[in-house]
Amino acid sequence: MTRSEENYLKAIYHLSDTFDGGISTNAIAEKMKTKASSVTDMIKKLSEKELVNYRRYKGVELTERGKLVAASIIRKHRLWEVFLVDKLNFTWDEVHDVAEQLEHIKSEKLINQLDEFLGFPKRDPHGDPIPDKDGNMSDHADVLLVTLNKNDKGIIVGVKDSSSSFLKYLDKQGIALGKKIKVIDKEPFDNSMKIRIKKEEFTISQQIANNIYMKK
């Protein structure tokens, strides 16, 4: 498989979390930042390899084989992120682009031994679950911070937005995985929140609260 084919499979896999049923070529094009015509050409290639099913007006779905291949790519990406943060002292906002390159390494033995070397981690540095070698991934049974109400408490377990700018913002505010948060107040008008981490209190916007996963 080419790197481009792998990137498309990964994109479709991620989009399947937010789409009920088939995924439109326009949605894939937006995700991949390309033209719909380019997506159509790629879908034909992936369909010939029995990695996706495409039905007119129904959209694109991964086959079982396609899901396994996509999960394998995501597994490699997230294991490399753990390695970069835990062993090479990268920060969590630096690892995504590097892992994007490393995820295309083909050696299954290398990835299995990397998994063992890291102690079989369940989540990456952003809190996302890591698929096992059979493609199984634990469910995100977590809730978004924005859904919590006044006086609710929870522990940060992940982020929905893993962009460098968002992660740098969280670092500035001292917001990180494992931190305990208490909602001091919530503004009904715009869902902005006053929160407490340890003894520090500050206000965050709805946009921020909508990108932080919590375990209550």
Percentage of the chain surpassing pLDDT 90? 85
Query: Mapping DSSP to helix (H, G, I), strand (E, B) and coil, where does residue 29 land?
Result: helix
Task: List the CATH number of the domain containing 200.
Answer: 2.30.30.90
Average the pLDDT over 91-112 and give the result: 95
Which residue among 14, 39, 62 closes a domain? 62
Q: Regarding predicted confidence, which is higher, 49 or 21?
A: 49
Q: What is the pLDDT of residue 162?
A: 87
Q: What is the pLDDT of residue 56?
A: 82
Task: List the CATH number of the domain containing 54.
Answer: 1.10.10.10
Which residue among 13, 29, 62 closes a domain? 62
The per-residue pLDDT for range 136-166, each reduced to its tens digit, is 887 666 899 999 999 999 999 999 898 999 9
Q: What is the pLDDT of residue 18?
A: 80
User: Computed from CA positions of residues 67, 69, 7, 41, in that sequence, does the dihedral angle turn out positive or negative?
Assistant: negative
Q: What is the pLDDT of residue 58?
A: 84
Quote the domain boundaries for residue 167: 142-215
Residue 20 pLDDT exceeds 80: no
The per-residue pLDDT for range 160-212, each reduced to its tens digit, is 898 999 999 999 999 999 999 999 999 999 999 999 999 999 999 999 999 99
Average the pLDDT over 16-33 and give the result: 89
Close Cβ partners of 159 (under 8 Å, ≥ 6 residues apart): 126, 127, 166, 167, 170, 211, 212, 213
The tally of domains found in the chain comes to 2
**Distance between CA 14 and CA 91 in Å, rounded?**
24
**Distance between CA 57 and CA 117 in Å, rounded?**
46
User: Does residue 41 belong to any structural domain of this protein?
Assistant: yes
The per-residue pLDDT for range 31-77, each reduced to its tens digit, is 999 999 999 999 999 999 999 999 887 899 999 999 999 999 999 99
Q: What is the pLDDT of residue 96?
A: 93
User: Does residue 109 belong to any structural domain of this protein?
Assistant: no
Average the pLDDT over 93-104 and give the result: 95
